[in-house]
Amino acid sequence: MANVLGGELWREAKSRLIQMIQNAREYIINHGEDLAVGAIVGQTGSGKTHLFLNLRISLDEEQYNTFYTDLTSYTKNQIASLLGEIASHWSEDIFEGLKRKTVTKLKQAAENGNNLAERALLGGTIRKVSFILNQRKLNQVASNVIEGKKELNFEILENLEPFSPVIIEFLRTGNEKVLRTGFEEGNLGITEFKFLVSSLTEIGKIGVILFDELSGIAREERRSLLSQLKGLINLRPPTVLLFASTPGGLTDLEELDPPFTRRIAKPRVRCDINVPRNYKEIFDVIKAYFEEFNAVLSSEERKNLKIMIRELFQQGMKTLGDILPVMSNALEASMAEKITYTSIEHALKNTRLGVHSPKSEVGASVSEYLRISTKLSTYPEELAEDVRSSIREIAFQAGKLGKLSYLHPTSRKIKVGKNGETVHTDVYVETGEETICLNVMLSNDGKYITPKMAKNIVKITENGLVNGQKIDRAIILSNTGCSEEIKRLPNLQISSLQKNEIVDLLYLANNRIEEGAEQLKDDLYRTLKKIGILRSKA
């Protein structure tokens, strides 16, 4: 997952950080010790952690040693534990660099007449040396030590600075546990850490430490960690330190330690990233996964995918923290070989399975809302028929619960003239107090409904009869407006119907009311009241 980075904003931030790291490496290698500080600032869910993880695996292993850490996982005086983890993680390269650095210093000292340095370099049994090795011999001995063909004399080395017993033991064994334990037990500190990481330059590398969740150290239990972190920065080890924080986290740190925060907030490079601003940016992120995992999408599949992403964005799936689990699930569904449209569709629909859609007024989950909304017909008459069937099903369930006395199972003929003329109504119900006819009228062009367009329901309001009894009320359920002439008709109610309400109708129609499902009952009653079939007192 971390090897994929999508979105122009995030790729630009990564590019700037890599350029800063490359510049820092060049300076450190060529001019000696230096410290470079960078920062990523973004809201929760903006992809800071993913960017760090992507950066970690993108840096050339032959030029950089990287380490990622979440500062919220450390408390109180755990800087020693953190330094121990870093040194342990880099131990193989530190060992190689430290060996070269040590041999170089001993060789230089021996050339300058330092007898102890010469004896340490010779290795073997301590013996008196009455002469300085010639240059050629000295170079050969140094080369043999570096290549592991000869050992240093560690007993002599103990008498030379800055070699503590722990560092000498590490030079002897190369065991990373020696470093970890040395820091944890307090035998090594930030000064020794600087000495160790500076040895990386001997093999052409520098360290890059990625500190995530900087805001976490502003909390009471981590403030001593902040003080120790400042001490490390002030010592200026030849590394690159990158910090990630929310804007609010920087504000909290500003109140706690203004100088430190200014140093972090205005470093050599600061990248401000945001949560995706629109669904197109999210699609750009997902597109990066297409390219990485060889997804093949037809033009129709790509179009449908954009529709799904737009729907999810409108429902609140707006952060990379929402999107990355989707891609993880898609990879799992594809057996991690390649992403297909089907696997992405499945993942998008099921990643937030239990989360209620903010667009639904009846508690439909995001996945249910997406499933229904993406399958709505684009033809008004087909969609209207789905709505009619859903209303009949909902009314049927209301009848079983005692809220309606009669529901005609299909559309019904209504007598509207003395000469036997009849017209159809989409839904006919009896509440026990009223007889009601409802017609569904949907449009794609947004034109107002006129009396001519609604002639059937107009005739019903004027002369509709069932079993010799006049129809009490008629309802037009529409996604568009009605002319004033229609609105003035007696006993006619105009009820609006938006896309999310259509989805809710279809959702309710597909969910049978089981015993004890009180919330679903309430949603059903409220929907029928909103349509106008039930009165508010029902």
| Preceding omega of 162 cis (within 30 degrees of 0) | yes
Mean pLDDT lowest among 12-16, 79-83, 144-148, 287-291: 144-148
Read off the pLDDT band of 133 (50, 70, 90): low
Which residue type, as a one-letter code, is found at position 528?
L
User: Looking at the domain covering 8-63+204-273, what would its CATH class be?
Assistant: alpha beta
Classify each residue of 58-87 as buried b or exposed e, where b means 16 or more C-beta atoms within 10 Å of its C-beta: ebeeebbbbbbbebeebbeebbbebbbbbb
| Residue matched to tokens 């209303």 | 391
Q: How far apart are CA 257 and CA 263, in angstroms?
A: 10
Which residue type, as a one-letter code, is found at position 49?
T
Model pTM score: 0.68
Q: How far apart are CA 76 and CA 225, in angstroms?
A: 6
Q: Residue 405: its pLDDT value, please? A: 92
User: How high is the mean pLDDT of the chain?
Assistant: 83
Q: How far apart are CA 319 and CA 80, in angstroms?
A: 35
Q: List, in sequence order, every residue forming a beta bridge with 206; answer none if it has no partner.
A: 64
SS3 80: helix
Q: Using the predicted structure, report yes or no on whether residue 125 has a pLDDT greater than 60.
A: no
Which distant-in-sequence residues (6+ apart) come within 8 Å of 83 by Cβ? 183, 188, 189, 190, 193, 232
For the domain made up of 380-531, give the CATH fold. Trna Endonuclease; Chain: A, domain 1 (3.40.1350)
Which residue type, as a one-letter code, is found at position 306?
K
Task: Please give the full DSSP string across 287-340, using - where no structure is assigned.
Answer: HHHHHHTT----HHHHHHHHHHHHHHHHTT--SHHHHHHHHHHHHHHTTTT---
Q: Which of 2, 4, 509, 3 is nearest to 289 (CA)?
A: 4
Q: In what order do the strands lie in the sheet with 412-415?
A: 422-425, 412-415, 465-466, 469-470
Which residue type, as a one-letter code, is found at position 417?
G
pLDDT in tens, 286-304: 888 777 777 777 888 888 8
Residue 119: CB atoms within 10 A of its CB come to 22
Residue with the bigger pLDDT between 153 and 112: it is 112
Q: How far apart are CA 113 and CA 132, in angstroms?
A: 7
Q: How far apart are CA 11 and CA 149, in angstroms?
A: 46
Mean pLDDT lowest among 246-250, 259-263, 333-337: 333-337
Where does the chain hold its CATH 3.40.50.300 domain(s)? 8-63+204-273
What is the mean pLDDT of the segment spanning 343-348? 74
| Both structure tokens of 11 | 């790729």
pLDDT in tens, 416-453: 887 888 999 999 999 989 999 999 999 887 778 888 88
Q: Residue 128: its pLDDT value, please? A: 45
Kindly compute the dihedral angle of the four CA atoms of residues 59, 63, 67, 68, in this order, to the nearest 10 degrees.
-20
* Eight-class DSSP state of 448: P
Report the first-to-last Cα separation within the chain, whole angstroms.
Answer: 54
Q: Using the predicted structure, report yes or no on whether residue 129 has a pLDDT greater than 50.
A: no
* Eight-class DSSP state of 199: G
Q: Residue 130: its pLDDT value, please? A: 41
Residue with the bigger pLDDT between 328 and 440: it is 440
Read off the pLDDT band of 207 (50, 70, 90): very high
Q: How far apart are CA 359 and CA 323, in angstroms?
A: 19
Element (H, E) at 38: strand 36-42
Residue with the bigger pLDDT between 201 and 354: it is 201
Where does the chain hold its CATH 3.40.1350 domain(s)? 380-531
Q: Which of 143, 141, 116 is nearest to 127 (CA)?
A: 116
SS3 189: coil
Per-residue HEC secondary structure of 365-424 comes to EHHHHHHHHCCCCCCHHHHHHHHHHHHHHHHHHHHHCCCCCEECCCCEEEECCCCCCEEE
Angle at 360 between CA 358 and CA 364, to 5 degrees: 100
Q: Using the predicted structure, report yes or no on whether residue 148 has a pLDDT greater than 60.
A: yes
Q: Residue 135: its pLDDT value, please? A: 64
Q: Residue 383: its pLDDT value, please? A: 93
pLDDT in tens, 59-76: 988 899 999 998 887 765
